[in-house]
Amino acid sequence: MQSLGCDVAALNTVQFSNHTGYRQFTGTRVSASEITDLYRGLKQSYLDDFDMMLSGYVPGAPALEAVGEIAKELKEKAQTRGKPGSFFWVLDPVMGDNGSLYVAQDVVPVYKGLVKYADLILPNQFEAELLSEVKIVDMPSLTRAISVLHERYAIPHIIITSVSLPDSSSPSFTAPNSSAPTPTPQEEGQSQPPRTKTLSVVGSTMTSTRQPRAFQISFPAIDCYFSGTGDMFSALMLVRMREAVYNTEGGLTERESWLSDDAVDALDLPLAKAAEKVLGSMHEVLTKTAEGMKGRVERARGFVEEQLKREEQRANGVNGCANGNGNGDGHVDKKAKLEPETNGNGVPGEEKTEEERVKGEEDERRKQVEELEKEEAEARKRLHLMKSKSAELRLVRHLDSLRHPEVEFRARRIECS
């Protein structure tokens, strides 16, 4: 947001050393009282003149309620001033993904109580199911979920991210600097080639009667794991939504929730224009991150594989080492003569029995094997940490893609029953 010209006051909801994708981290979750206290500090210094707010991951219900109180207070202040369009809340209801929650169960009802105050929500497919209580399995059920969110909660703007449905239509993306949709193979009279895997976002701005004006934007999926895509999408949507609204004539900035007239088509909505531009930036940054990731991961894998190879050679040396009788087969010669051991001065000490010597050798080998296994586990852990770092989006290095994306995506209208 700062790279696109926003002055940002950040209130952290967690203080972690790193994101949880590393599978290890230190730090603490911020309490509700700490969030409230930080906001009170901003107010007492007259630093609460915000025109937009973005909320994301909040780990617990009390802290989420504290965040919601801040948003409600700012919305009420805008209403009191007679300028309802002067504050806009973008809410990313972070609860889970792929059918699983990664917040406490009591967070879900708190979100259901807060979304009616939001101007734009950005749930993923699973989160949209939780909020609408509609199981999304195809496009009709998806549009039904959107209709429920508009009707039940009066949410003005909705974008459902990471939509993956079995009956998705052809991608709606174009080459850089191209203004015309890419013709499909059928349009060109060609046979159908293997389809590129695509994902979609589906958005809608409601009418004055809470009816959806829905659109879909599809884009090619990149076969990589990335960290930070959700945060990037929500931050860019905040900026681009404001930009699209301010570029729209008719005093839209003065209206509550920046709601367009009912006559405005779904494809002409500021929400659709904003999403098109955001996905262009996202695709460019993810593509460039993936290109750099390959080299970083290969170097990390090479380093770890070399380390594992050395450890394997050591392990083979341990498992196949010669015993004290020179047989080299890892077995003790039962007929071997037991030589008396000496102390440090060369004076003969107590003789060890055959069983004691066998047990000593086995203990030593077991200790060495355990040490090698521990080193191997540590090497694999290091590879995971290196991969985790390489999966982080390289935003600062690709500011041009954030500000002026060349890749263009086009929304298409969706009919809602």
> What is the Cα–Cα distance from 76 to 12, expressed in whole angstroms?
23
- Residue indicated by tokens 């695709």: 283
Helix (H) or strand (E) holding 386: helix 354-390
Concatenating the DSSP letter of every residue in 112-174 gives HHHGGG-SEE--BHHHHHHHH-----SHHHHHHHHHHHHHHH--SEEEEEEE--TT-----EE
Q: Tokens representing 272? A: 């659709």
**Is 48 an annotated catalytic residue?**
no
Give, in order, the Cα–Cα distances in Å from 295 to each of 224, 291, 392, 394: 13, 7, 14, 14
> What is the Cα–Cα distance from 265 to 249, expressed in whole angstroms?
15
Choose, from 231, 261, 268, 363, the residue flagged as catalytic: 231
Count how many Cα atoms sit within 13 Å of the Cα of residue 29 in the half-sphere of its side chain. Answer: 12
Least Cα distance to 5 among 200, 192, 224, 238 occurs for 238
Helix (H) or strand (E) holding 139: helix 139-153
Active site (catalytic) residues: 231
